[in-house]
Structure 1
Amino acid sequence: MLSVSLGLWQDRPASDALLTAKAADDLGYPGLWIGEMATYDAFALATAVGLATERIALTLGPFAVAVRDPMMIAMGVASVADLVKRRVDVAIGTSSPLVVEKWHGRPHAGSARALAEQVEVLRGLLDGEKSAHARSSGYRLRLDPPRSTVTVAAFGPQAVRIAATADRMVLNLITPASAARLIGDFRAAGGTRVTAWVTASASKDAAAMEQLRRGVVGYLAAPGYGEMFTEAGFGDVVAFARTRPHPRELLAEIPDELLESVGLLGPTAEKRLAEYRDAGVDEIAVIPASTDDDPGGAATLRELQALGAR
């Protein structure tokens, strides 16, 4: 199944997110993932999206468990569901030390433990139960419970095991080979449904490829991701990234082939789509590039819709 995830691209107007959402709904995609970065609050954006679209189901997050407590998340999800009269699910994760510690001033240590706790606590709150958890003790939704599914964003072994206790695991920026290994571990631990967020551009024009390069540059030196890209044949780029060059210098060294290893791009999109399916991915959430020539990625979504139906 193909769904859509908002790109929230830093080099584009924030309002492009609404263009992507409207295009996804008009084209009949069944689901839309609404994350949260440096612009819109995800609950506010989801409400705007719900009021501007007709039928598409929404998944909000992943929300950082060190920043948002279960009550905050449950109240936000129930609020969106009540206001837009739409199916609303939720995703949680540990996020990064940059977001948690620098942006929010919260400790990132202990995030894995909080993630494991919040899966069950959040599920209960979303089903209308009164919470006994220390971070939301005694709270019960006063709005109708949305009975949302809970998804866990995962990459490392611990998060994968926690994801197996949730309704779904979501993977981001991942090669099909790495996805296959993680999904094997996930299903061995009892997990079932898997979504992968995958960047996409039908045209592969210069503006789109530059946007996608900017999207991966922060991952190349990161533990786990660096090894994944090395395995995919880009060890020289990873080694250079780990010397901490200026981002402009690193961008110039990222080949199109590296972007294609984790994306649905131009003529290789159909092949890569099949590889993700063979890896065990149940749902591919397309993150379309958004450029002046294709605002919101509508043309990319239209072309990928045809591939997804094959």
Structure 2
Amino acid sequence: MRLSVSVGLWQDRPAGEAVLTAQIADEHGYPEIWVGEMATYDAFALATAIGARTRRAALTIGPLAVNVRDPMMIAMGAASVADLTGRPVGVALGTSTPVVVEEWHGRSRAGSAAALHESVQALRPLLDGERSDFSGAHVASQGYRLRLGAPRSPISVAAFGPDAVRAAALADRMVLNLLTPSSAARLITDLRLLTCTTKVVAWVVAAVDPGQAAIEQIRRAMVPYLYAPGYREMFAQAGFEEVAAYARTRPDPRDLLAAIPDDMLEAVALIGDSVEIMDRLDAYEEAGVDEVALVPVSTDADPCGEATLKALAD
């Protein structure tokens, strides 16, 4: 199975660790670095900085919210990073959350599933250097063509529900985040009914021989997902009905955090020694996943997840 690395962007860690994590991944031979966007760095700026401080790894930027960034903006950003770094650059698209789209950006999230589908269609010719000529119900771009070299970026789509899976079928890769292998297998089955060519990438949090700080880092990261419909049902199906039912009552985040058991973390993360993690990777591979993008946990004991990345590279 192919392994790549996603920079963690952990909220309680120094923001600059994202660049350091990327440097470590590049030094240990990981072929690709995924550069997401949270509340700190602009993703294109961060990808440019990573490209300047690494030597080999390809870069994939996103997932970017399609209700916030339009196709022309994404194509120009990808071409800019490719030109300034000399690296292959991919883009990933998603619908993001109501908090990010509606509260942070003040945009409507209405029609996000259709916008995701249309964005893939509008972006493909732009990234190939063609003049834009697309008008959809939610996405449009007319008359723009890149002045920089065409990056010919592969397009990835973050998917969870059936509408996003249909959009992913138009893309080069489908990205799954924080899913159990069995849930991943169900989505991949739906994808394969539509196409046999789209590859599947699973973003999975990883910590080799974790201490308690790493366990708590993963536990905190799971809290927002438990508030989200769909993810709650996934955890219920995985045997954690009580926690899912409790999350449905919208408790205080601190109380929900305390209710998450360790074995719930193990259902969606790579935790343990190298042998245990290899077994978990095998489970994702058997589910139909082609690539795992490791999201290394960063703590004071293992800054930037360096020990984890080294162990899994070896």
2:65 and 2:29 map into 1 onto residues whose CA distance is 30
Out of 137, 148, 151, which is 2:153 matched to?
Answer: 148
Deviations 1:212-271 (A, max 9, x none): 111110111321111110111111111111122111111111111111101110133122
Out of 199, 202, 206, which is 1:196 matched to?
Answer: 202
Aligned counterparts, 1:19-34, within 5 A: 19-34=20-35
Equivalent pair of 1:93/1:152 in contact (CA under 8 Å)? yes
Task: Please name the residue that 2:123 is paired with.
Answer: 122
Equivalent pair of 1:19/1:295 in contact (CA under 8 Å)? no
AA paired with 2:44? F
Task: Please name the residue that 2:304 is paired with.
Answer: 296
AA paired with 2:115? A
What secondary structure does 2:243 align onto?
A: helix
Out of 193, 211, 218, which is 2:224 matched to?
Answer: 218
Deviations 1:128-184 (A, max 9, x none): 000012432110000000001111110001110110111110000000000001001
**4+ residue runs over 4 A deviation:** none
AA paired with 1:87? P
Equivalent pair of 1:149/1:167 in contact (CA under 8 Å)? yes
Equivalent pair of 2:6/2:35 in contact (CA under 8 Å)? yes
AA paired with 1:273? L
Task: Please name the residue that 2:61 is paired with.
Answer: 60
- Cα deviation for residue 110 of structure 1 reads 0.9
1:119 and 1:249 map into 2 onto residues whose CA distance is 40
AA paired with 1:203? D
What secondary structure does 2:156 align onto?
A: strand
1:227 and 1:251 map into 2 onto residues whose CA distance is 17
AA paired with 2:222? V
Aligned counterparts, 1:180-191, within 5 A: 180-191=185-196
- Cα deviation for residue 203 of structure 1 reads 2.2
What secondary structure does 1:258 align onto?
A: helix
Out of 263, 269, 273, which is 2:269 matched to?
Answer: 263
2:119 and 2:216 map into 1 onto residues whose CA distance is 37
Q: Percent identity?
A: 64
Task: Please name the residue that 1:305 is paired with.
Answer: 313
What secondary structure does 1:147 align onto?
A: coil
**Which runs of 5 or more structure 1 residues have no equivalent in the other structure?**
none
Out of 205, 210, 213, which is 2:211 matched to?
Answer: 205
**Which runs of 5 or more structure 2 residues have no equivalent in the other structure?**
none
AA paired with 2:141? S
Task: Please name the residue that 1:277 is paired with.
Answer: 285
Task: Please name the residue that 1:234 is paired with.
Answer: 240
CA RMSD in angstroms, aligned pairs only: 0.9
What secondary structure does 1:8 align onto?
A: coil
1:277 and 1:116 map into 2 onto residues whose CA distance is 27
Task: Please name the residue that 2:113 is paired with.
Answer: 112
AA paired with 1:297? G
1:252 and 1:23 map into 2 onto residues whose CA distance is 33
2:119 and 2:5 map into 1 onto residues whose CA distance is 25
1:129 and 1:68 map into 2 onto residues whose CA distance is 19
